[in-house]
Chains A and B, each alone.
Chain A
C-alpha cells in the first residue's frame, strides 16, 4: 500500500516556486479563453437573432445592452452582488459533487436528483422535528447530505456490482427523484391550507442565519459551501481514503491489484458526491426558500457538470467557476429585461464554454497555442460502457 503511494505520487511535488506559479497560470489559459470565446459567440447569437443583418446598428445596440444588463444584474445593481453569492452557493456544492465523482472515475449526471432528495430531507427535518437551536440546523444539514448521499450511493453500488453504467442510472434516478418529490410535496408532506403544493415552512431554529436585514438574502450557506470545499480538498489530498479514491479513478485495475476494495470505493465516492449535491438542496431550503415547493429548481444537474469541468475537477477551482455561473444566472434576468434577448442564451453560452474546456484542442487550434510540452497524460474523466 505505502509502496504504491510512493510510486504514484512521485511526480506530484513541483520543482520550485516559479515553476509552481507557471503551472497555475498555464492551467488558467485554456479555461479563460474558453469563457471569453463563449461569451463572444453568445454575443454573435444575440446579434443574429436580433435581426443582425437587417438592422446592424440596432442589433449591435441590443447586444451591448444585453451584456451591460448582464453585468449590472450580476454585480452593480442594488443587492446584485449578494444575489450573485446566493446563486453561487448551491453551484459550489453541486459542482464539487460532480468533481468529486470524477476523481473516482465516475460521471455523476445525477446531481439534480440528489439535490431534490437532499432538499426534501432537509425541509422535512426543518419543519417536523423540533430541536434546540444550533442542533436543529446541524441535523437538518446532515439530513440534506444523507438524503442526497443515499440517492447517490445507488448508482455507485449498481456500477460496482453489476456494471450498470452510472451515466444512464443517474439520469433515470433524476426522473424518479422528480416524480417522488412531486408526490411527497403534493401529498404526505404538503402544507395544509396552502394553495400551491409545497412543504410547510421550516422552524426558525433550522434556518441558516442571514448576514444583513431583509430584503437582502445573503445567507450563511456560502460558509457551508466554502467549508465543504476545504474539507473535500483535504480529504482527497491528505487522507488515505482520498488517495484510494484518486487511485481507483486513475487506474481501476491497478487499484484492485494493490488490494483496494473497488466496490466500497465506488459506493463511497458516489455516496459522498450525492451527499454534496444533497447538501446543495438542503442549504437552498434552509437558507433561502425556507420550504420546498413543487418545481423548486432546475438546471443544477447539467450546470454542475460544466462547473466541474471548467474547474478541471480541482476542488479549489470550483469556487471561481461556480461564481462565474452564479453571476451569469443572476445577471440573466436583467439581461433579458434590457435587451429582449431570451435569458436561455446563457445556457447556450455555458454549453459552449463546456465544449471548449472539454476539447482544449479546439481552443488551442483557434488561438494557435502549443500543447503543453510536459504533457502529463491526464487520467480519463470517463470511459466507454465497458468500465
Chain B
C-alpha cells in the first residue's frame, strides 16, 4: 500500500465520518439536556430528501447551481429543525416515552420521503444542480484552501474536503467549547443531570431542553444535506442506511462528548473507507460480508463500552415541574 492510498483512505475516512459525527452531535446536544434522541436517522433522511427537492426546484427556477445548492442546504436545515420541534413537543410537552417518539419520527420520515420520492422525484424531476464543490474550488476562500491542501500529509487529509465535511470538524470543536466552557453548556448539562436542582437555581428546564433538541435538529439536518447535496447529488429512498443510529453508537462510545464522538465516528468512517481496498485484496470473498463491518463494529462497541459509559443521569426522563 503506497502513501497516496493511505492519504486518500484517511481522507475518505473523514468524509464517511461526516454524517455519523453530525448525528452524534445531534445526540450530544439533545441528550446532554436530558432528551434521548433516536430520531436522528429520520431527521437525516428527511433533510436529505427535502434539501435535494429544494435544490432541484430552485435550480429549475434560477438556473444557477451555487444558489440552488445553498437554498437546498437551508431547506435541509429547516427540515431537521421541524422534526426536532416535533420530537421536542411530543417528548417535553406531552411527556411521551422518548424512544417511542423517536421511532414515530423515523417511521414518519420513511413514509413521507417515500411519498415525496414517488410523487416528485422518481419520474419527471428537473435536472439536479450537482453537488457541492471542494472548498479549494470555491470563489474567495478557495485560494486559502488551495494553499492549505499543499501541506504535506495533513493538508489533503484535513483540508481537501467539501464544505459540510470541513464544517463538521469545526462544529465538533464549537460544540466542545459550548458544552464545557460556557454558561449555556453548564446549564444544559445541569438540566440533563439533575433538572430539579437546576430548576431550583432558576434555570428554565423546558427552555433549555427545547433549544438543545432544536440545535440537535440543525446538526442532523446538516448531516442529511451531506448525503444528497455533498456526497452523491441524487436522492434514493432510505439512503441514510442506518447512519443516524451508528451516530448514536458513536455518541455513546465517545461518552457523550463531541471529541470522543468524532473519534468513534472516525472508526466507523474507516470501516467504510477501507471497503474498496478489502474488496480488491480479497476478490473472491462475498462483498456482503465487507458491507456488514460497520454494523458489526457498532454492536461490538456498544457491548464493549456501554456498561462503563454513563449517560447523563436524567437522560430520557420527562421533567414535571412541581
Contact = CB atoms under 8 A, between A and B. Distances in A.
Interface of A: 45, 49, 107, 109, 158, 161-165, 167-169, 171-173, 175-176, 179-180, 182-183, 187, 302, 305-306, 309, 342-352, 354-355, 358-359, 361-362, 380-386
A179 B303 contact: no
B107 A309 contact: no
Given A344-B118, A359-B101, A165 B245 contact: no
Contacts of B295: 172-173, 175-176
Contacts of B292: 175-176, 179-180
A144 B96 CA distance: 35
Given A168-B298, A358-B96, A382-B97, A347 B110 contact: yes
Q: Give 3 nearest A-B pairs by CB, closest first.
A: A384-B316, A347-B111, A342-B118
A343 B108 CA distance: 14
Interface string B143-185: 0000000000000000000000000000000000000000000
Chain A facing B: main interface SS: helix
A72 to B, nearest CB: 21
Contacts of B265: none
Contacts of A347: 107, 110-112, 114-115
Interface residues of B, number: 50
Interface string B249-274: 10010000000000000000000000
Contact of B286 (A158, A183, A381): A183
7 contacts: A158-B302, A175-B241, A342-B114, A342-B118, A344-B118, A354-B103, A358-B100
A41 to B, nearest CB: 12
A306 B311 CA distance: 28
Given A309-B100, A359-B90, A381-B97, A179 B291 contact: yes
Nearest to A178: B288
- Which one of B107, B306, B310, B315 has the highest number of Cβ atoms from chain A below 10 Å of its Cβ? B107
Contacts of A362: 90, 94
A350 B304 CA distance: 36
Contacts of B311: 384-386
A113 B59 CA distance: 40
Interface in B274-306: 286, 288-289, 291-292, 295-296, 298-299, 302-304, 306
Contact of A348 (B36, B94, B98, B112): B112
Contact of B306 (A164, A171, A172, A343): A164
A383 B104 contact: no
B100 A172 contact: no
A342 B113 CA distance: 11
A383 B97 CA distance: 8
B33 interface: no
A179 B302 CA distance: 21
Given A109-B103, A162-B307, A354-B104, A361 B94 contact: yes
A181 to B, nearest CB: 9
B107 A107 contact: no
Given A49-B119, A165-B302, A173-B295, 7 more contacts: A162-B303, A162-B304, A168-B302, A172-B249, A347-B112, A347-B115, A358-B97
A386 B100 CA distance: 16
A351 B241 contact: no
